[in-house]
Amino acid sequence: MDDPDVRGCRSVMAKRIVSALPVAVGVYPAVLSLAHMADPVVRLVFALNCRCVAILLSFTTGIEALAHERRQSPALDRCPVMINLR
């Protein structure tokens, strides 16, 4: 018998795999175009661009997490800002 937690994890994993399929189908034609990159410099530039995109996405999640934690801080004043009310 499966543990209910294991069943829940399996269902979550199955949903994530199904949601990733459209992304994989969209990226597949771009990967096929890599076969036409015979020049090593072009392949290196492409790899560096992919690396930069991955780093920027990592920064995005970190910045969002930091902003979320700062919003929950008791140091922030919860009153509405009255700057533009003249």
pLDDT at site 53: 87
pLDDT at site 5: 76
pLDDT tens for the chain, 86 residues: list them: 456 677 778 888 888 888 888 888 888 777 777 777 778 888 888 889 889 888 888 888 888 877 777 666 666 665 655 665 55
What are the two backbone dihedrals, phi and then psi, of residue 77, each rounded to the nearest 5 degrees?
A: -80, 125
Q: What is the number of residues in the chain?
A: 86
Instruction: For residues 59 and 52, give the distance between their C-alpha atoms in angstroms, rounded to a whole number.
Output: 11
Instruction: For residues 12 and 5, give the distance between their C-alpha atoms in angstroms, rounded to a whole number.
Output: 11
Residue 37, Cβ neighbours under 10 Å: how many?
13
